[in-house]
Amino acid sequence: MSSNGQSDAMSQGAFRALADPTRRRILMHLSKGEMPIGDLVDQFAITRAAVKKHLVILEEGELISVHQRGRERINRLEPKGLKSVSEWLNYFSRFWDDRLSDLKAAIETETENQIQRKK
């Protein structure tokens, strides 16, 4: 196997957390700004307890962090977990990623132009 073993072990919690569509929706909401559980519950047709369970799993996957503020607990998007998933995925990017090559081509052209202009 060689590559990616450690990164895979670290991101297990994140992969698990992302498997559920409700949890991904929660992340989408939190991407617009941190908020307490109450605000999230309003967005879903499930009970507060169910949302709370999702938040715990998201926290375990290091996709969110929780911060006490008075009697509220604020849930905030946490880059760490997402980053580890992205890094795992990156190992496979050579099989499909047009973005990288497109970007590379674009930058090369751009750089050439800059150099042209400098002359």
Chain residues that interact with DNA, rule: CB under 7 A:
16, 19-20, 22, 36-38, 45-50, 52-55, 57, 66, 70-73
Residue 41 interacts with its own copies (CB under 8 A)?
no
Which of these ranges, 34-42, 47-55, 66-74, 95-103, lies near its own copies under the rule CB under 8 A?
A: 95-103
- Measured from the CB atom, is 52 or 110 closer to DNA? 52
Q: In the set 47, 56, 67, 79, which binds its own copies (CB under 8 A)?
A: 79
Q: CB 78: neighbour CB atoms within 10 A?
A: 19
Q: Report the alpha-carbon distance of residue 92 to residue 86 in Å, rounded.
A: 10
By rule CB under 8 A, what count of residues binds its own copies? 41
| Interaction mask 2-21, its own copies, x per CB under 8 A | -xx---x---x--xx-xx-x
Provide the residue type at 61 as one letter: G
Least distance from DNA to the Cβ atom of residue 41, Å: 7
DSSP characters over 32-69: T--EEHHHHHTTSSS-HHHHHHHHHHHHHTTSEEEEEE
Classified as helix, coil or strand, 102 is helix
CB 67 within 8 A of CB 87: no
Residue 52 interacts with its own copies (CB under 8 A)?
no
